[in-house]
Structure 1
Amino acid sequence: IRGFVNVFFIVNNDIYTGKYNRNVLIGRIKVMASLSSVSLSTSSSEISIFPSTNRKLAVLPTAVRTFPGQTIKKTRTQMINVAHVQPPEVNKPHCSIRSTSFNVEGTGSTTSLDEEVKVDASGMEVSIKLPLFETPSSSTDAETDDSASLSVAVIGATGLLARTKIFPALFALYYSGHLPEKFGIFGYSRKNLTEDHLRAIIAPTLSCRIDHQENCEEKMDAFLKRIFYLNGGYDNREGMSNLNTLMEEGEGKFGANRIFYLSVPQEALIDVASSLAEKAQTQRGWNRVIIEKPFGLGLFSSHQLTNSLLSDFEEKQLYRIDHLLGRNTIENLAVLRFSNVVFMPLWNRSYIHNIQVTFSEELGMQTSARYPNGYGILGDVVHSHIFQTVALLAMEPPVTLDGEDIRYEKVKVLKSIRKLESSDVILGHYEADSGSNFKDKDNPIPTYFGAVLYVDNARWDGVPFLIKAGRGLKKNRVEIRIQFRRVPGNLYNKDGGHMQNLATNDLILRDVPDEAILVRINNKIPGLGMNLEASELNLLYKDKYNVEITDSYEQLLHDVIDGDNHLFMRSDEVEAAWNVLSPVLSELDNNNVTVERYNFGSKGPDKAGNLWAKHGVQWLDD
């Protein structure tokens, strides 16, 4: 209910009126020799209180906040039984009222504060608190109405990421039924907006999937009504305290679990985290904090960030998010490895010749302001997405699929990566066109990273992991290619044989373009003679599954709600990844490494081909 509504109090045939303004409604009720119990019902525009013969106060869907002189103990139900009333005496200014239980009646689900208030002999002040969000209960059984509610605070709610990714992902979860029935979304930023203004900004970014269109507009309207807004500074503890108050008003007496999504600039991250840790955490549920990459601007700043975060939160509360890790292809790595016996015995140095990880985008990096440390794509893509992909490819089977077990195995891989030599790294910077804002001739920010990694353990000894990550390249391609060794003793390369060479067998997990799993094999061409060629067996997701692929932010937010952290980097993973990159970053800081130029829209630096050849590999998608 927004704005003002009239309220009519009818007690012992006496009528009193009041107004509701935003959160709190105040009226006056005359106290007689004994207090009459009253019932409260609601409609879309009016609240009425009228005499009741069953001595119950019904709350549908509002909640009583305070009565002067009265202590109300509310459980998970909605009907107040007035168990005992002591009428006021002439020589005593106050009386006490005890209310012991609530019993569900009707369809509302409400919350209230447990406060002690006072009643004087001349009258009683009534405050009625309407919760910011409520959902009809599916059951009238108090014992079953114990599902936890959820509050999501988006810090930096007016930024591009929040508008285009976070809010649409939350709506997708809401539409598909993956949010609790009782939830609220609380936007917080430095902009002075109204809630209606924020909702108007968000509304155009929401959409229903092609395969889920039923009641789309209705769902959007309902979702937008769950969004609330507060403006305040990032280092403002008073602002975070106000945010906490707003969230408590929505959650009611029983509280809610809370997620804080910190969509803020890197330089504001520590202040925001410290302020919300002190002022905005709930004591009546769990608190989880989502942090956007980059996770520090190098090893030293990463240490500072980690130490600051761990002084305010436990490691299990922190979710360092990289949206690229929420892609279905990444999830498929473990599934392919550990649920298919055909691959399990082959996943080692005896059968795999090399592994190629490609991240190629046609778009440029837009502006250098996004990369304040000058490391460009190394901090934006390589540190998190590329190294996490390598870790998932190379890790040993975890004890279970629990997030902590998987993260223990991943960090072992990262710590086993051989120190990078400058001779095994190619850095590049595309030549931008005249209209680009991303130009720096004196200190070019890397837009291309090519490298050969080696994991020094028994499983992967001698197997090169080839990395190509770049922007401003010829085509969009994100894929993992596992290239197996050649067949020993090639029967088709004998004297008088039919072929000189056989193609290698490859397993390809492609994310962009067109998500697919491909297996390259050699087969006979139909017809007379023994002519062979390489063919691909393909599982193309858009053909196999007639559904729209889940957005990565939707997947990762769902994981945060579930407490599944296996796709989020732990502190020791962050440190281990920066340790791998530190030699390259040091050379870059000291201008001891050449950043090669390449044309926008090309394959990247020409010298990259020499690097692959040095390790006996031809990059097959070039």
Structure 2
Amino acid sequence: MATTGRPRAMSGTIPSMESSANDALKDNTVIVVLGASGDLAKKKTYPALFGLYRMGFLPRDVHIVGYARTKMDDAEYHKRITSYIKIADDDEDGKAKLEEFKKFTFYISGGYEDGPSFENLNRFIEGIESKYQSKERNRLFYLALPPSVFIPVAQHLKEQCYSKDGKNRIIVEKPFGKDLESCRELLSSLKQHWSEDETFRIDHYLGKEMVKNILVLRFANVAFGAAWDKNSISNVQITFKEPFGTEGRGGYFDEFGIIRDILQNHLLQVLSVLTMERPVSFSAEDIRDEKVKVLRAIPPIERNDTLLGQYVAANGKPGYLDDDTVPPNSVCPTYAATTLWIHNPRWEGVPFILKAGKALNEAKVEVRIQFKDVTQGIFKDISRNELVIRIQPSEAVYLKINAKTPGLNTRAIPTEMDLTYKRRFTEIKIPEAYEALILDALRGDHSNFVRDDELDVAWKIFTPILHWIDGKNGPAPKPVPYPYGSRGPKELDSFINKYGYKRTVAEYTWPIMNVSAL
């Protein structure tokens, strides 16, 4: 894997991943960002839109309209939406593009639950569209909003702002409900107004470069495909770590918890791509069909396959319950490890351990596939092979192998075959997840969005354990404490060890520090 030199142009393309020309919004398009005054919009949505504009991927003559309750003038709006757009001081082209970007971004305030506000929004959009040369009028609505207003907003957009002379699409952010019942209610309500083809449910992890890369790694490499099953793999860990706590947002977090926030959506999406069977093609429905099939083979999570934790004060940092916005004596987990089992011929008996936590020792998201032991005989106490897909930061794929130590002695030591993106693809910018997904929505490509039946089966897996944690079936479990800045609960090692995981000998460390110096 470790290679040098500039990468050659790719010869193996996947044309069916590209949407057809008939689906793409190329001209006469207005993008409406609802919730334009919020954190999500300014931190993710607008920087992604600007990134697409700068790279030339937005429709020609596009206009962007921000909509929210907050009243502000154009100057305040432009200041807010560009506050997280990073441009170097010496980047004159970037500065010029940003000024161009501001000229076609507008703002209008209004409520989320009253028809007259949306009639006013529609008149504003029609004023922009009146300058278009052709009769085509395309509209893309991005709901950067809390789920409490999804339904009234979706209804009013359909009733007051739906274009009758072009394509309409709506992007909906997670969370998609809190359990199976609430998810079904949300899906049913949205379907009353928007068809499945018009709806794009965004889980930004599906837009991350290394998650999208899993399909190519699996199905474009015979070497990986041959070992991708229960015969070779001992266990799989999918890990999400944040080095900070709730930081004053505990009231919101306490309503959902770490499982709803991370495991049920982000990490389960990674698992489904990692374990699905080879799709017939790379068309959106073929991919999503296979994801749903593998998720249906996963039974609900058992309590004894779950470890829950909550961080406490340490290293000069406050504990979760020290956050004034958190209810006193809350038992909401800020750390969770859950083990899923897939009952199909490929994966029967292989544990998939999903781990996520806040206030941990580092920021990291990765997949760690640990292979079985080599046949005993000439080698004893040798490290297992591991394939690690580093999703963020420092995107990489490395295969942990055993090799002879250089010199006159014959001794095997663990090392790696390393594809670190910053070192290999030095001149290629990895797009942000939101850039990739908004572009997919503009193209009409559903491949990296969540389908309704996929949501339904995902909630079936997690709802029983969530109801237990919420105390709906008796006393809620109390999470074990772990210090702020630690690896997690001290019980973690024994938890993962019982599923067959074996830690590599202490002398091995993946040389990530070499990456950060690049």
Scaled to the shorter chain, the TM-score interval is 0.7 to 0.9
Structure 1: unaligned runs, 5 residues or longer:
1-145, 493-499
**2:249 counterpart of 1:370:** no
Alpha-carbon distance, 1:588 to partner: 1.4
**1:427-442 matched pairs, under 5 angstroms:** 427-432=308-313, 433=318, 436-437=323-324, 439-442=326-329
How many residue pairs match? The answer is: 468
CA distance in 2, matches of 1:175, 1:276: 29
Matched residue type, 2:373: R
| Superposed counterparts of 1:51-62, under 5 Å | none
In 1, Cα distance between equivalents of 2:491 and 2:401: 30
The higher radius of gyration belongs to 1
**1:437 & 1:569 partners in 2: Cα distance?**
35
Instruction: Please state which structure has a larger fraction of its residues in strand.
Output: 1
Task: Tell me the residue number matched to 1:542.
Answer: 422
- Summarize the alignment of residues 336-355 of structure 1 with structure 2, pairs less than 5 Å apart: 336-355=217-236
Q: Would the aligned equivalents of 1:375 and 1:446 in 2 still touch at CA under 8 Å?
A: no
Specify the alignment match of 1:310 in structure 2.
191
Separation (CA, whole Å) in 2 of partners of 1:621 and 1:164? 41
Whole-Å separation in 1 of the counterparts to 2:477 and 2:84: 43
Q: Distance in 2 between matches of 1:254 and 1:274?
A: 25
Sort the Cα spacing of 1:361 and 1:244 in 2 relative to 1 into closer, same or farther, 3 A: same
1:218 aligns with 2:102: no
Give a deviation string over 1:472-518, Cα, whole Å, max 9, x none: 111111100111112224423xxxxxxx3221111110023311110
Contact 2:47/2:82 (CA < 8 Å) preserved in 1? no
% identity of equivalent residues = 37
C-alpha offsets along residues 320-370 of structure 1, whole Å, 9 cap, x if unaligned? 112232211101110100111111111111111111101011111232222
- What secondary structure does 1:185 align onto? strand
Partners of 1:355 and 1:438 in 2: CA distance: 36
* CA shift in 2, pair 1:621/1:296, >3 Å: farther
Equivalent residue, structure 2, for 1:28: none
Deviation at 1:234? 0.5
Q: Which whole-Å deviations, capped at 9, do the CAs of 1:161-216 have from their partners, x for residues lacking one?
A: 11121111101100000011210000111112223331132233323489x94622
Which of 118, 123, 135 is the equivalent residue of 1:254? 135
The separation in 1 between residues aligned to 2:235 and 2:325, in whole angstroms, is 34
- How many angstroms apart in 1 are the aligned matches of 2:333 and 2:503? 21
Residue 332 in 1 paired to residue 213 in 2?
A: yes
Kept in 1, the 8 Å contact 2:469–2:477? The answer is yes
Q: What is the Cα-based RMSD across aligned positions, in Å?
A: 2.0
**TM-score, normalization by structure 2:** 0.86
Task: Give the Cα–Cα distance (whole angstroms) in 1 for the partners of residues 356 and 331 of structure 2.
Answer: 16
Distance 1:148 1:391, change over 3 A: same
Residue 366 of structure 2 aligns to a residue whose secondary structure is strand
Q: Distance in 2 between matches of 1:569 and 1:619?
A: 34
CA gap 1:204/1:345 in 2 versus in 1, 3 angstroms: same
Partners of 1:505 and 1:306 lie apart in 2 by 43
Equivalent residues in 2 for 1:259-338 (5 A)? 259-338=140-219
Equivalent in the alignment of 1:502: 382
SS in 2 for 1:486: coil
- Tell me, in whole angstroms, the C-alpha distance in 1 between the residues paired with 2:129 and 2:505: 53
Change (3 A) 1:309 1:620: farther
Match of 1:236 among 96, 104, 114: 114
> Any conservation in 2 of the 1:612–1:619 contact (CA below 8 Å)?
no
1:518 is paired with a residue of what secondary structure?
strand
Q: How far apart are 1:621 and its partner, in Å?
A: 11
Aligned partner of 1:230: which letter? Answer: I
In structure 2, distance between residues paired with 1:152 and 1:187: 8
Q: 2:291·2:454 contact (CA, 8 Å) conserved in 1? A: yes
Farther off after superposition, 396-405 or 483-492: 483-492
1:22-80 CA-partner distances (Å, limit 9, x unpaired): xxxxxxxxxxxxxxxxxxxxxxxxxxxxxxxxxxxxxxxxxxxxxxxxxxxxxxxxxxx
**Is 1:455 aligned with 2:342?**
yes
Question: Which of 142, 145, 148 in structure 1 is aligned with 2:27?
Answer: 148
Q: Report the 3-state secondary structure (helix = DSSP H, G, I; strand = E; otherwise coil) of the residue aligned with 1:452.
A: strand
Give 1:255 shift.
Answer: 3.5
How far apart in 1 are the matches of 2:346 and 2:91?
48
Ranges of 4+ aligned residues in structure 1 off by more than 6 Å = none
Change (3 A) 1:353 1:147: closer
The structure-2 alpha-carbon separation of the partners of 1:616 and 1:579, relative to structure 1 and needing over 3 Å to count, comes to: same
How big is the shift at 1:402?
Answer: 1.0
CA change 1:490–1:404 in 2 (3 A) is farther
1:196 and 2:78 aligned = no
Q: Aligned partner of 2:462: which letter?
A: L
Structure 1 position 439, deviation (Å): 4.0
What is the Cα deviation at residue 597 of structure 1?
A: 1.5
Q: Which amino acid aligns with 2:402?
A: N
Letter in 2 for 1:328: E
Change (3 A) 1:365 1:414: farther
Aligned to 1:468: 355
Pairs within 5 Å for 1:387-426: 387-426=268-307
- 262 and 620 in structure 1: CA distance in 2 versus 1, 3 angstrom threshold: farther
CA contact (8 A) 2:121 2:161 kept: yes
* Cα distance, 1:379 vs structure 2: 1.1
**Aligned partners of 1:259 and 1:209: how far apart in 2?**
30
Tell whether the 8 Å contact from 1:362 to 1:472 is kept in structure 2 after alignment: yes
Change over 3 Å in CA distance of 1:323–1:439 after alignment to 2: same
Matched, 1:606 2:490: yes
* Distance (Å, rounded) in 1 between the aligned partners of 2:26 and 2:296: 42
Q: Secondary structure at the match of 1:459?
A: coil
TM-score by length of 1: 0.72
* Distance in 2, Cα, partners of 1:276 & 1:621: 58
Per the TM alignment, residue 620 of structure 1 is displaced from its structure 2 partner at its CA by 5.9
Name the one with the larger helix percent.
2
